[in-house]
Amino acid sequence: MVMRIAFTMKGGAGAAAIFLIFWAFSILSICILILMEGLSAFLHAIRLHWVEFQSKFYGGTGILFEPFSFRRLIRLYEGLED
């Protein structure tokens, strides 16, 4: 829409308008990308702080994890393992 106005202008004014609109669009795009990257870094830092904060209250009591294994089940079934 804005570029259409610049493309319809004749002579040096049109070239200058295209040049200025291009640079304005480029600067706006870069600013948005920097803002998004900063937001990403900020949210990641907040997430890490939250995880570290929650680990202060972790008791670690519960059922010990044992990975599932068909071989172990077969050996238990055959009586080869306790």
In angstroms, rounded to a whole number, what is the distance separating the alpha carbons of residues 12 and 20?
A: 12
Q: What pLDDT band is residue 7 in, cutting at 50, 70 and 90?
A: confident
Q: What is the pLDDT of residues 28-67, one digit of tens each?
A: 999 999 999 999 999 999 999 998 888 888 887 888 888 9
Res 68 pLDDT > 80: yes
pLDDT of residue 62: 86
Are 18 and 5 within 8 A, CB to CB?
A: no
In angstroms, rounded to a whole number, what is the distance separating the alpha carbons of residues 13 and 32?
A: 28
pLDDT of residue 8: 84
In angstroms, rounded to a whole number, what is the distance separating the alpha carbons of residues 14 and 28?
A: 21
Whose tokens are 């670690």? That residue is 60
User: Which stretch of DSSP H or E encloses residue 48?
Assistant: helix 11-55
Helix (H, G, I), strand (E, B) or coil at 25: helix
